[in-house]
Amino acid sequence: AQKVTQAQTEISVVEKEDVTLDCVYETRDTTYYLFWYKQPPSGELVFLIRRNSFDEQNEISGRYSWNFQKSTSSFNFTITASQVVDSAVYFCALSVLEYGNKLVFGAGTILRVKS
């Protein structure tokens, strides 16, 4: 079975703090894709990043970075120097062949950044 766990229900930080959102996944498939989406208060999920199971290279995009570790089945997301505009719900998701390549979402982490 495939599953995504985001253990942090809600995180509150003060602006300029660094924050890491955890994502742990389960699948027996060797070929899969991992995603992060952001859902701002407007409601529309916005795609942030995709990683395939054969590429463990970490990625940095501005203040955002992602750490993919197959050994621990984790795909964590770090925001450096957080800003109020980062306040949103963040979802980690998994797509695997055995599940017909449909997305399985975690429960989401609410991030509140206070000024």
Beta-bridged to residue 91, according to DSSP, are: 37
**In degrees rounded to 5, what are phi and psi of residue 24?**
-120, 135
* Cα gap 86→100, rounded to integer Å: 32
Binding characters for another protein, 70-89, by CB under 8 A (x = yes): --------------------
- In this structure, are residues 87 and 111 in contact, taking their beta carbons and an 8 Å threshold? yes
Minimal distance, residue 110 CB to another protein, in Å:
9
* Contact set for another protein, span 31-70 (CB under 8 A): 33, 35, 37, 42-47, 50, 52
- In this structure, are residues 108 and 115 in contact, taking their beta carbons and an 8 Å threshold? no
Q: Is the CB of 52 or the CB of 69 nearer to another protein?
A: 52
Residues that bind another protein (CB under 8 A): 4, 6, 9, 33, 35, 37, 42-47, 50, 52, 91, 95, 97, 100-103, 105-108
